[in-house]
């Protein structure tokens, strides 16, 4: 399992383009995609699937089966609306085939419709350009704050205003935490939600790192090359960029140097690689 600790968050899982991708965010108890099964992925109740390709959702059966074996609570699977009904039918068929009962709920995602989770966390899907309907995700936190002009009010009055939800005393601040950009074309980077560029962590698929695959073929597969990200890195106002979903044509040991070479000096220390773990794939 690969692990990155950045900006107060732990990213755990694995990712190789065409083989399998799943990234769990430990502190938020959610996971993006289900293309591989790792312990941190298994522990997430909320899974946001970007699209229905096997390398992003192919482990859903094992995920549900192991969770059932361990008597875990019902999982919530959030998928693009075009894939929701097909996934429900597949899971019903799998349950009948396996003679088992699995605890889960499948929710259809729609562009721009935020999904509320616990503790003021929301996950909002945004469309990317891929060969089937695909969503990226923006995770944000809503925090209630006291208006500066009310700082000198008596504590009892402040407490009463909080209970009453008074907007003249409190306001809501939305903080972008993490943005997840899966398989797509570079044009999507130009229309990302503004808060994606301000997130503490911005994850972007960067399947290709040099000219080993012709650019025309990269675009036919609707993928990003690392220089597409580097050309736009000046827009980033957050803390760390994480590149993932690297092609199998690159050895694990050569990826960091290829990535580092693509970015200007002011950003090199803020760009990180979510490398596949040793031995994955076998």
Residues 6+ apart with CB under 8 A from 27: 8, 9, 10
Domains in the chain, please, with CATH?
Answer: 9-269 (3.60.15.10)
Query: Residue written as tokens 């923006």?
Result: 138
Neighbours of 150 (CB within 10 A): 15
Q: What is the mean pLDDT of the chain?
A: 95
State the greatest distance between any 2 C-alpha atoms of the chain, in Å, as a whole number: 67
What is the pTM for the complete model shown?
A: 0.93
Convert the pLDDT of each residue in 226-240 to its tens digit.
999 999 999 999 999
The Cα–Cα gap between 192 and 181 comes to 9
The band of 146, judged by pLDDT with boundaries at 50, 70 and 90, is confident
**Axis crossing angle, helix 81-98 with helix 60-69, rounded to the nearest 10:** 50
């Amino acid at each position: 399992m690969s692990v990155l600790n950045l900006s107060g968050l732990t990213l755990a899982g694995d990712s190789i383009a065409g083989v399998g991708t799943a990234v769990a965010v430990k502190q938020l108890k959610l996971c993006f995609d289900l293309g591989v099964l790792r312990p941190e992925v298994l522990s997430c109740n909320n899974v946001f699937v970007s699209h229905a390709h096997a390398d992003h959702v192919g482990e859903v059966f094992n995920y549900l089966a192991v969770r059932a074996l361990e008597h875990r609570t019902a999982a919530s699977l959030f998928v693009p609306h075009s894939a929701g009904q097909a996934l429900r039918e597949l899971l019903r068929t799998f349950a009948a085939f396996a003679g088992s009962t699995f605890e889960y709920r499948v929710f259809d995602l729609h562009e721009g419709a935020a999904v509320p989770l616990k503790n003021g966390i929301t996950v909002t899907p945004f469309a990317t350009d891929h060969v089937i309907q695909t969503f990226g995700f923006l995770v944000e936190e809503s925090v209630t704050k006291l208006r500066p002009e009310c700082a000198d009010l008596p504590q009892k009055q402040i407490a009463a205003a909080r209970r009453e939800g008074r907007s003249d005393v409190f306001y809501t601040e939305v903080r972008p935490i993490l943005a997840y950009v899966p398989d797509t074309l570079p044009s999507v980077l130009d229309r990302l939600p503004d808060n994606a560029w301000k997130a503490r962590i911005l994850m972007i698929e960067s399947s290709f790192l040099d000219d080993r695959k012709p650019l025309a073929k990269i675009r036919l597969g609707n993928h990003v090359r690392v220089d597409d990200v580097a050309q736009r890195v000046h827009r980033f106002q957050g803390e760390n960029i994480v590149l993932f979903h690297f092609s199998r044509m690159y050895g694990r040991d050569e990826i960091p140097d290829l990535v580092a070479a693509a970015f200007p000096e002011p950003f090199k220390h803020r760009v990180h690689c979510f490398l596949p773990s040793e031995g994955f794939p076998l």
